[in-house]
Structures are given as structure tokens and as C-alpha cells.
Amino acid sequence: MDLLQPIIKPYAWGSRDALARLQGRNTPSAGPEAELWMGAHPSGAAGTARGGQAMTLLDVVAEDPHRELGAACVRQFGGRLPFLLKVLAAEQPLSIQVHPDREQARSAFTAQQAEGGGGPYADDWPKPELLYTLSRFEVLAGFRDREEAAHLLENLEVDGLRPVIGLLRAGTDGQALSEALRAVLERTPDERAPLVSAVVAACRRLAGTTGSGSHAAAYAAVERMSRHHPEDLGLVASLLLNHRVLEPGTALFMPAGALHAYLHGVGLELLANSDNVLRAGLTAKEVNVAELLRTTDPTVRVPVVTPTEVAGPGPTWLYDCPAREFALYRTELDGSGGPLVPTAGPRIAFCAQGSARLSTGDAEQLRLGAGDSCFLPASDEDVLVEGRGTLFVAAVGLSPDEPASLVRGSLPH
């Protein structure tokens, strides 16, 4: 067991109190703190210590992948910890973005490297994501129905949107939504500012009216986002996407190809160990429209994950989703204690509140307070945990031939 020193990413959209409060530090922090990384990604590997020597988790895994990850994980993913666990604290909107699937990432990164490197792909891995909300969380997640999107844009009464509305009404579902997104993002520099200004003004006008119905919140979101990203075409593109406010304790799976943005809130994010991001807007970074459209699939839906209760050291739930790189477990420690779930493979445990004490058969002990995390290598198979609080454990995903009832000890019927 290795206590982790997570990496804080100080992106401008982060909060100055959420992560500091979680870790018991003074607030406000000196600057924005956006993400707490608990993993072995090259651009932000968590620190730890082995034998009194300071190391990163990336170094630990590289020294002995079979011991740290286990033979099955190494066979499937090579010598790479396949998942990355984060706490995300969004005070301002993140970019509208999409992530590739495994084959898209592999082929695009290989082609990029053959051309000398440099480009939108950071690695050859996919980046599916699971978001577990620790607070109310506002998101844009997947495309609206095309007729609903056309109706929402039509209500704005902005002349510059007429071609977009026409594309939505004329085509088939996926093709029409893709072409509508292209028509928004490929506006010339001279067209951009007048269109965005007119759309923001119309959204401001409609946000507080009863006639806007269920779309009032989406209009209001555009007006709020415009304070941080004026003249950004992503403000217009956001209206093509489903706007949702998730209650605490909701888990949302973001598949490859799903266009999305996290707007505001604090959540636990579990994702494949990749940094591949293609952006559509709400950003000062590059927007590669051609590659974005090639990667985005407007027919992909973003589901809420229904947890499955499994046996554990307290009430325990598995948030399994169709990503072989990861699965998330949540245990509400109630003082009874028992074997840590899951029992096998590389794991990262994170204490969201309260405290937990972990121990192994050789009497090694580790205490986690709120905001603390640790890495458990595959070689640590008999880990006991007790305490009172909320403990999350990130692990490798279930393979199709390994149902939860066989590998994780589901509750008896």
C-alpha cells in the first residue's frame, strides 16, 4: 500500500476552495485548483515513497509492472496503469470536447507520429470517462434530438441561425446534427462576433420567460458561459447539446464520440489513462473542426449509470460501464469492516469523507482521512478496511466474461 501525494492541476476554470476544503487546507487557495490527479499519467503522476525514497506512481509501476499491475492487467494493457482517478472542481465551464475510441486514437496517433509528431493527439489511448457527482453538477452531455435542437434555435429568432435550422430539418438524425455543428463552427471570423452576440442577447431575453419552458436553463447557461468566453462559437454549439443538472450521487458515463462539457460542480472522475481531447469551443486552445467532426458521433447517448450492490466491508456499490480500462466502487463504511472490494488487481482508494484504516496480512497499516488516497498493487490481495466514511475504489474494468457475481462477490439473492 502506498499513500499518494496527488497532483493539483491549476487550470483557470478551477475552484479556490473545493479541493482545499476536501483536503483540510486553508481556503481560499492561492489560485484556482481544478483537478486532483491520483494516478500514473506522465503529465501528472502522483507522488509516493518506497523504501524511504521519493518516487512517482509512474516510476513504481515501471519498475515492476507484473507485481504492481498483475499478469492479467499487463497482458491486456501492457505496463500501463489503465485508469486515472481525479477529483474535478469546476468553478467555470470547461471546453466542449470529445474523446476518441481505441482504434481512432491508435490510428490517428500513429499517423501523427509518422508525420513528425505535433497535433491534437497526446497518446494512442481512448478516453472514456465516468463522472460521479459530489455536488450538484451542471453538464452538457450528448446531442439533443435534431427536431428539438431546431425548435430551440428557432425560438431565438436570430437570422444567422437560419442555415443551421435548415440543416437540422432537412437531414437524417446523425448526419443533420453533424452538419449543423459544422455550420456553427466553420463561421468566418467576420461572421463569428455578430452571430455570438445575437445568440447571447436572445438567450438572455428568453432565459427568464415562462414561454421558454424546459429550455430556459439552457438559455441561461449560454448567458453565464458568455461571461467567461465572449465571442466563442462554442456558446452557439452548446445549444445543440443536452443541458442537465445532476444531483449529488449521480454517475454519468461519457462514451467515446460523445460531445460534452462540464460546466460547474465538484465530482469524482474516473477515466482511461489518456489525455486525448478534441475541442469544439469554450476554450482558448486549438479547435480542430475536421478532426472533431470525424471523432464525434451525434447518435451516441450519455447514460446515467445504475449501480449494482455487491458484498463489501459496508454497503458497497459497483458502477460498472462498458469501458475495460476501469470500474468504480463506493463503500459506505459503517464501522463493521471487512475485505476491501475489489480484492484483486491494481486499485486506487480515495476517502471522500470520514476516515478509513487499511491493513494487510503482514500487519502493514495505512490510515486515510478525508481527501487522502492510496495505491494498492495487485500483489496486495488480502486488504482489510474499517472505519466510518465514504470510500471510493478505482479498479480495472470487468471483462465481458467476468460478471460481477463471479469476480467481486455479489450479494446473495
339-366 tens-digit pLDDT: 999 999 999 999 999 999 999 977 779 9
pLDDT value, residue 364: 78
- The CA distance from 318 to 327, in Å, is 7
Q: Considering only CA atoms, which of 317, 392, 376, 406 is closest in space to residue 81?
A: 376
Strand 316-319 versus strand 327-334 pairing type: antiparallel
- The CA distance from 265 to 288, in Å, is 27
Q: Can you give the three-state secondary structure of 153-202, one letter per residue?
A: HHCCCCHHHHHHHHHHHHCCHHHHHHHHHHHHHCCCHHHHHHHHHHHHHH
Task: Name the pTM for this structure.
Answer: 0.93
34-92 tens-digit pLDDT: 999 999 999 999 999 988 899 999 999 999 999 999 999 999 999 999 999 999 999 99
Q: Considering only CA atoms, which of 280, 406, 295 is closest in space to residue 343?
A: 406
- The CA distance from 249 to 399, in Å, is 25
Strands (DSSP E) along 177-325, which ranges? 241-246, 251-254, 260-272, 278-281, 308-310, 316-319
One-letter amino acid of 391: L
- The CA distance from 281 to 284, in Å, is 8
Instruction: Report whether pLDDT(404) > 70.
Output: no
Q: Average pLDDT of the chain?
A: 93
- The CA distance from 395 to 170, in Å, is 45
- The CA distance from 402 to 399, in Å, is 5
Q: Catalytic residue at 102?
A: no
Averaged pLDDT, 233-258: 97
Is residue 387 helix, strand or coil?
strand
pLDDT value, residue 361: 76
- The per-residue b/e assignment along 115-139, b for 16 or more CB within 10 angstroms, e otherwise, is eeeeebbbbbbbbbbbbbbbeebbb
pLDDT confidence tier of residue 174, bands split at 50, 70 and 90: very high
Q: How many CB atoms lie within 10 A of CB 188?
A: 6
pLDDT confidence tier of residue 170, bands split at 50, 70 and 90: very high
Domains of the chain, earliest start first = 7-140+247-288 (2.60.120.10), 142-240 (no CATH), 308-407 (2.60.120.10)
Averaged pLDDT, 193-210: 92
Q: Considering only CA atoms, which of 212, 252, 254, 209 is closest in space to residue 97?
A: 254
Options 21, 80, 244, 279, the catalytic residue: 279
89-140 tens-digit pLDDT: 999 999 999 999 999 999 999 999 999 888 899 899 999 999 999 999 999 9
Instruction: Report whether pLDDT(412) > 50.
Output: no
What residues does 148 pair with on adjacent strands?
none
pLDDT value, residue 218: 96
- The CA distance from 56 to 377, in Å, is 14
Instruction: Report whether pLDDT(410) > 60.
Output: no
Q: How far is CA 96 from the centre of its chain?
A: 12
